[in-house]
Amino acid sequence: MGIKQIIAIASAKGGVGKSTICANLALQFSRDYKVGILDADIYGPNQQIIFNVANQKPIVKTIGEKKIFLPIEVDNILLNSMGLVIDSAKAAMWRGPMLSKAIKQLKNSTQWGNLDYLFVDMPPGTGDAYLTVASDIELDYAILITTMSKLAVHDTKKSKTMFDRLKIPVLGIIDNMSYSICPNTHEHINDFMLVNLEQEIGCDLLGSIPRHKDLTDFNSSKKNNLLEPIYNKLKKLS
């Protein structure tokens, strides 16, 4: 069976919540499906911190000439990360094709077993390195994360254009951190001028996630249901 669906969690803009949403979505999906996460953010891998496994490394088996990685299993999710197997300082010097080759190799030489979903936590960007990674990793779908900041929306449009060019279907946008909820009145407080993201970016809005303390410096031991409505939508789409 192998991997049924590979879904990139992406945005051109840094710091909009890709890693946080990726981990939360994976946790939601892992309640019903077999799920893996590939942290492809070579310059700032975060998943091993989110899942509290920064001190663990995947076991490496050598079969003939081939190196196989046994991913880390945490919270019922299989995890492998560029940050766990590669010297990030060295990799920071790599050009696009080398980076892409390393990520592709990591994906292909990890013993994922049979997975329903592999989520790929993408680095920020749309440059040359990014394009190669996105095309080589054999994605089935992408999900774009943005805030309503003018700059994030501007960059997310670029991401949409890039995935369109690569003919990778975008399942939709997740609007993250655009509002907070007042703890007393439960009123929604908008942090940005409201933007019609569907119109601006040109794809469906999967949902809006508030700025919420359960997601700030999220770690997987603090479970929450903030992603549940988006999960229910995505199950039908992918």
| Chain residues in the site for ligand ATP (CB under 6 A) | 14-20, 41, 44, 46, 124, 176-177, 209, 211-212, 215-218
Q: How far is the CB of 128 from Mg ion (least distance, A)?
A: 20
- Find where tokens 């003919």 sit: 167
19 or 100, CB closer to Mg ion?
19
Q: What is residue 74's DSSP assignment?
A: E
Q: Which stretch binds Mg ion (CB under 5 A): 38-46, 105-113, 158-166, 181-189?
A: 38-46
How far apart (Å, rounded) are the C-alpha atoms in residues 185 and 188?
Answer: 9
Q: If contact means CB under 5 to 8 A according to the sort of partner, which of ligand ATP, Mg ion, none does residue 217 touch?
A: ligand ATP
What Rg do the C-alpha atoms of the chain give, in angstroms? 17
Instruction: Tell the burial category of 56 from Cβ atoms under 10 Å away from its Cβ (0-12, 13-18, 19+).
Output: middle
Q: If contact means CB under 5 to 8 A according to the sort of partner, which of Mg ion, ligand ATP, none does residue 216 touch?
A: ligand ATP
Find the binding residues for Mg ion in span 6-25 (CB under 5 A).
Answer: 18-19
Q: How many residues bind Mg ion (CB under 5 A)?
A: 3
The answer to whether 165 and 117 are in contact (CB under 8 A) is: no
E strands, 45-192, are 59-63, 66-70, 72-74, 77-81, 115-121, 141-146, 170-181, 188-190
Q: If contact means CB under 5 to 8 A according to the sort of partner, which of Mg ion, ligand ATP, none does residue 169 touch?
A: none
CA distances from 152 to 60, 177, 193 (A): 39, 12, 13
20 or 110, CB closer to ligand ATP?
20
Find the binding residues for Mg ion in span 77-106 (CB under 5 A).
Answer: none
Q: If contact means CB under 5 to 8 A according to the sort of partner, which of ligand ATP, Mg ion, none does residue 120 touch?
A: none
15 or 127, CB closer to ligand ATP?
15
Any bridge partners for residue 15, and if so which?
none
CA nearest neighbour of 24 among 238, 218, 179: 218
Q: How far is the CB of 55 from ligand ATP (least distance, A)?
A: 20
Interacting residues toward Mg ion by CB under 5 A: 18-19, 46
